[in-house]
Amino acid sequence: MEAKKEEKLHIVLFPWLAFGHMIPNLELAKLIAGKGHHVSFVSTPRNIQRLPKLSQNLVPLIKFVNLPLPTVQNLPQNAEATTDVPYDVVQYLKKAYDALEEPFTRFLESSKAHWLFYDFVPFWAPSVASKFGMKSAFFSIFTISTLGFYGPPSSLMGNDSYRQKPEDFTVPPLWVPFPTTVAYRYFEIKKIFDVMSDNDSGVSDVYRLGSSIQNCDIVVIRGCTDFEPEWFQVLENIFKKPVIPAGQLVNTEFKSGEDNDRWRWMEDWLDKQEHGRVVYVAFGSEAKPRQDEVAEIALGLEKSKLPFLWALRVKRGPWDPDVLRLPEGFEERTKGRGIVCTSWAPQLKILGHVAVGGFLTHSGWTSVVEAVQNEKPLVLLTFLADQGINARVLEEKKMGYSVPRDERDGSFTSDAVADSLRLVMVEEEGRIYRETIKEVKDLFVNKERQGRYMDELLNYLLNHL
């Protein structure tokens, strides 16, 4: 057993083509390589070019494997990630990704890897790995509570008789044995209910997820058992196979000089602001508000009287015909008090600045981890995917406060935005959010704990070759 620990692993990582998936996979790759093991990170050429650069000490251990994305009808040329295309085009990206099965099989055969870590979209990957006697792990960037809420593989693959309509997802499921508020709100599940049915890729998202869990040797999950112990127990009960936490995978972004110019003028502006008073607003690489929602957010920022830095994606990729616009006169009225950045923003650096006192976010888990890392309390405004489940966990733990919304259509007012921001960042009543975010920080960023999770995971992988 001890001799085995001296062996060096070769692990293949195969994430879905969304930056909210690729970045945690890259963080996992860095941690594995940091322990002296080899990683092959498989993606498409353009995505690999867009990933943060590695520090020099990791370059020999992490090999990027370029698999050109096959051409499929209705998917624009050079669109290689969900951030490149409108929401309704993502199904064609999945179709192209499925067409990678043959080149991926050829790579895996020649890789001499020990383990394959794959995401939920390539549900066909574990059968490819087993052809070559390779073990496979479903690596979930979804949190422990999200997977616990989604349920056992049989339920996800179409054998769920009691969750048939959106309303059924607004209450905790039968397999959760403790009281909790963790469930979708009606407007959240209604917006994404299409994931339950087949799309133009031929396979539904929930089937992909269920099959990915069912056919792996182990489930490796982003998260830490100390943060969600009761949900971790749910997973062990419903998956009936080893579930191993990988830690929160805190972003250790290493950037070269090309981003410095943009950061320099932002930093210069932030340096002039009062400590803890600036609102940072960003909704990740996929969530795109509607035009009416953008107007309410803008007017809410204006009414809050707080300084703000807003990273606003006005469209999802160059082929998005629906370009978002700020309300007339907004930029003139808030000149000097706020900045709206419509291109890439260095989020980790912004959140790390002392002037930033709160984060208006979509509740994507990478953004949540970065906020906790920098002790910034959260104001929550969900849009897609697992964000509603994440938001309930953050509400329960008093780490974030959700902007009040209409339960049926999800609409909200500028007053609700302004009041929520002031509550979390300024008012005495919201002190609990400011304090709790500092208290949980150690659970997320403690290097010793993260190291322990990684050692336990790697020991398991070595001992089950």
Which residues face 109 on adjacent strands? none
Residue 263, pLDDT score: 85
β-pairing verdict for 308-311 and 278-282: parallel
Spell out the domains of the chain, with CATH numbers in brackets: 2-252+446-463 (3.40.50.2000), 259-443 (3.40.50.2000)
pLDDT attached to residue 4? 52
pTM for the complete prediction?
A: 0.93
pLDDT at 187: 94
pLDDT at 255: 54
pLDDT at 1: 34
Nearest to 454 by CA among 227, 139, 244, 253: 244
Residues of the chain with pLDDT under 50: 1-3, 256-258
For the chain, give the secondary structure using H, E and C.
CHHHHCCCCEEEEECCCCHHHHHHHHHHHHHHHHCCCEEEEEECHHHHHHCCCCCHHHCCCEEEEECCCCCCCCCCCCCCCHHHCCHHHHHHHHHHHHCCHHHHHHHHHHHCCCEEEECCCCCCHHHHHHHCCCEEEEEECCCHHHHHHHCCHHHHHHHCCCCCCHHHHCCCCCCCCCCCCCCCCHHHHHHHHHHHCCCCCCCCHHHHHHHHHHCCCEEEECECCCCCHHHHHHHHHHHCCCEEECECCCCCCCCCHHHHHHHHHHHHHHHCCCCCCEEEEECCCCCCCCHHHHHHHHHHHHHHCCCEEEECCCCCCCCCCCCCCCCCCHHHHCECCEEEECCCCCHHHHHCCCCEEEEEECCCHHHHHHHHHCCCCEEECCCCCCHHHHHHHHHHCCCEEECCCCCCCCCCCHHHHHHHHHHHHCCHHHHHHHHHHHHCHHHHHCHHHHHHHHHHHHHHHHHCC
Tokens of 224: 């830490």
In which region does residue 307 sit, left (phi positive, over 0), alpha (psi from -120 to 50) or beta (all else)? beta
> What was the pLDDT predicted at 259?
61
Within a 10 A sphere around the Cβ of 451, how many other Cβ atoms?
Answer: 14
What is residue 245's predicted lDDT score, i.e. its pLDDT?
A: 95
pLDDT at 2 (0 to 100): 41
Q: What are phi and psi of 68, to 5 degrees?
A: -60, 135
